Amino acid sequence: MIIQATEKPKGYFTKLPGHYLWFDLFDEHGIYAYVGVEIIDIWASFHTHIIRWSHCIAKSLKLDWKELVFLCKEKGVKIAVASNEDMNDTRWPKFIKLFGFPEPQTVLISKQEL
């Protein structure tokens, strides 16, 4: 239940384009997740990479989420976005409900490298 801002992305996040705020999330056993937050105007896109998972970490993550939301609100954010590229991930709806997100919606997107 400790959030530490970091300068550089770790793990999966080293491949993400954009400008992010980076955070390491800790519990008594060490880092349990990396979080990247991209803020664009009133929007914040949250990217979470969980290293360890348990019921205790779920509780810690819920508390840490509240702290991250507070930090974003201080920067003028009004809307939080979470996404998952795997449309068949049956754990995703349950995971995002931990943070108060409603049932996910299907959104079709396309991207083009320029």
Name which of 98, 49, 92, 89 is nearest 69 in CA terms.
98
* Beta-bridge partner residues of 2: 26
The 10s digit of each residue's pLDDT in 38-95 is 999 999 999 888 899 999 999 999 999 999 999 999 999 999 988 877 778 888 888 8
2-97 architecture in CATH?
3-Layer(aba) Sandwich (3.40)
pLDDT tier at 1, thresholds 50, 70, 90? low
Interatomic CA distance for residues 59 and 37, integer angstroms: 20
The domain spans of the chain are 2-97
More confident residue, 14 or 53: 53
Q: What pLDDT, on the 0 to 100 scale, is given for residue 92?
A: 83
